[in-house]
Amino acid sequence: MDPYLDKAMASAAADARGRIVSTIEATGVVAIIRMKDTGRLEAVVDALARGGVRTLEITMTVPGAVEAIRSVSKSLPEGFLLGAGTVLDAPTAHAVIDAGARFVVAPVLDAGTIEACHARDIPIMPGCFTPTEMLHAWRLGADLIKVFPATSLGPGYLKDVRAPLPQLKLMPTGGVTPENAGDWIRAGAVALGIGSALVDNQAVGAGDYGRIERAARLAIANVSAARGAC
């Protein structure tokens, strides 16, 4: 194949991934969905949408996750992004992409998963804990880096990491809540992964979708306010 054509195709693929990443950054909040009852998924998505969250991640821990992604991807309104989380290997990455996932998130760093996603022009966000892991992931081509688990680290950790490594795009997950969302943004996060503090399984079980909507509104408001103050 013509090397110039190869280069052009690679550039186009990177641009396509970049547009998706830019959308995730602009939204600022990725709602992580780990539901046992997928029958309530549509109502949860509607509540998140009313609260202003339009980037969703369905994890592989959800029963029938691949089919759930396939179903949701067909019904999401324009302007939404649907991704897959807890993706541990290349075959699973291909399966969720085939089902309609527009981005892939992993709790760990796996080079094969990064390669599989990039072969399909899909952004990948591997999970990393240490600066060494983060830089290695970045050099492998990670589009964003999921700082996980962020629960025991705190926003100051991000600020410390980005001081010598400002090129990293970090998305903390675990311990991120609507209430502390602004703290993570001010520390240098480009986006946030929020799970049970946003999609509360008790609220889902009780059919209290208003609680999910209010949490989404608070997260978006705190991200916006923090960005305005930076």
Domains of the chain (ranges; CATH) run: 3-229 (3.20.20.70)
Which long-range contacts (C-beta less than 8 Å, at least 24 apart) are formed by 126-130? 127/173
pLDDT reported for residue 11:
58
Q: What is the pLDDT of residues 68-81, one digit of tens each?
A: 999 999 988 888 99
Q: How far apart are CA 225 and CA 184, in angstroms?
A: 12
Are 10 and 179 in contact by the 8 Å Cβ rule? The answer is no
Which residue is it, tokens 């807890």?
Answer: 86
pTM equals 0.92
Are 162 and 153 in contact by the 8 Å Cβ rule? The answer is no
Residue 57 a catalytic site member? yes
- Worst-scoring range by mean pLDDT, 2-6, 47-51, 84-88? 2-6
Q: Which of 7, 57, 133, 179 does the annotation list as catalytic?
A: 57
Are 205 and 36 in contact by the 8 Å Cβ rule? The answer is no
- Indicate the pLDDT class of residue 4, thresholds 50, 70 and 90: very low
Q: Which of 146, 169, 179, 213 does the annotation list as catalytic?
A: 146
Token pair listed for 4: 């110039």
What is the rounded end-to-end Cα distance, in angstroms, of the chain? 47
Q: Nearest Cα to 101, choosing from 120, 88, 77?
A: 120
Q: Nearest Cα to 59, choosing from 83, 25, 28?
A: 83
Which residue is it, tokens 């641009």?
Answer: 15
Are 39 and 66 in contact by the 8 Å Cβ rule? The answer is no
Q: Nearest Cα to 23, choosing from 74, 78, 73, 60?
A: 78
DSSP β-bridge partners for residue 56 = 31, 82
pLDDT reported for residue 15:
87
Contacts of 125 (CB under 8 A, 6+ apart): 103, 104, 105, 106, 142, 143, 144, 145, 146, 171
Token pair listed for 81: 């992004």
Residue range 125-153: average pLDDT?
Answer: 97
